[in-house]
Structure 1
């Protein structure tokens, strides 16, 4: 009998032990692909930062590390989940001191981090989808407070609608020594939310050694809905940015 671990739906404020299972598997199965994605989506904007970069929901650190390479400014990495934060700090520990000293890791949700006018670029990657509407309403004013006037927010949009059928995606397997790591992600509609179940396994030539499962919940929202919410909190569209995968807004120069 293989151990199976399941976590339940997150509340508006992320539990510190969220992602306890996924943290072991995320980097080996998904980080290479995500590293290329964040560089493509946000690299040019991060390189223009002149004050600081805010990484909202830093996870194991793909946006944080990219920001250290592409910019010369301070980076604020916000990650409430202990398991993901542990991976992030382990990665930061091996960096040269000059880079490491530019990063501050905040172990709270952004509204608890007390960041005021410290950055001119904020990135929210792979995070908004996992926040219910009430948590988003708490996030936006905290982002606005962290940005200086004229600063910009770039965020990856959540799914716009509920899936009409189950969506299954296999994660490419990776070998580590004698063991092979793999995973499968299944997204399905559950009421007004999307249930995302991720099954992980580790196998050897003799067969499966371990299996684990973790369940996440996502709240769909259209681009128009997110844009309207941000407008209510004082953001306006950033001209010249029409990538369908990323919503770009700015805090106007006026207060």
Structure 2
């Protein structure tokens, strides 16, 4: 997850975001997310012949899936230091031949200066947490980074504000004598969604630690997102019917 830390809207994520979430993300959500990214994007990534671009790589679920499913280079873009630390730690455990195929970019994509570097781009669990200004900077950067004929796959943001608070409990996980848990609460706040995540660590019946981190999300209809992408040179990917993913292409000829 790559939202902007609570506060006034800004154009890009703070490099120091996720100081709390980075500790808990993998243990609470990574297994579920690994299965999800394989289901959503695996078959497209397997067809990559030039490179894969992972936008908002986080702790590396799309990056690792891309290494497993393709034989091309992978560009992992992750500006948040805390998430990038987890990503690099994970990459350090890989065999050298796999690790040599990954380049980690510690900037937002519009600062990474990638041009025609990939034919498949994945933006998973990220767009919802970018302000309109950040999205306006992202679309042309993706267009530049994709080779003509390349495909962009992204997880759409929520279309609407939640009518009431939505609470989701994260399944608890045991690590030795301690149990890690969390709860996510999404609530409308003006034209945005405030997502608050409460984390805890228990030892027996006692709560040893509690932490909270909050993020903003910007809801956008699918139609509006398609129109925005069209203005930046993208067209719907023919034959793509999975409603969970918005798939567009950078046409080879315009």
TM interval, shorter chain, is: over 0.9
Residue 136 (str. 1) matches residue 135 (str. 2)? yes
Match of 2:235 in 1: 236
Q: Contact 1:49–1:121 (CA<8 Å) still a contact in 2?
A: yes
Q: What's the secondary structure of 2:226's corresponding residue?
A: helix
Hey, what's the Cα distance between the residues in 2 that align with 1:206 and 1:13? 41
Structure 1: which 4+ aligned runs deviate by more than 2 Å? 6-10
1:13 Cα offset (Å): 1.4
Aligned to 1:127: 126
| Cα contact 1:10–1:216 (8 A) shared by 2 | no
Structure 1 gaps, min length 5: 1-5
- Paired residue total: 250
Task: Say if 2:12 and 2:131, in contact at 8 Å, map to a contact too.
Answer: no
Instruction: Using structure 1 for the length normalisation, give the TM-score.
Output: 0.96
Residue matched to 1:3: none
Q: Deviations over 1:189-220 (max 9, x none)?
A: 00000000000000001400000000000000
2-side partners of 1:12 and 1:19: how far apart?
17
The 1-side partners of 2:88 and 2:134 are apart by 25
| Alignment TM-score, normalising by the size of structure 2 | 0.97
**Partner SS, residue 215 of structure 1:** strand
Aligned in 2, Cα 1:41/1:9: closer, same or farther, shift over 3 Å?
farther
CA shift for structure 1 position 10: 5.6
- Name the CA distance, whole Å, in 1 between partners of 2:126 and 2:140: 16
Q: Which residue of 2 aligns with 1:147?
A: 146
- Measure how far apart 1:20 and its partner are: 0.7
RMSD: 1.0
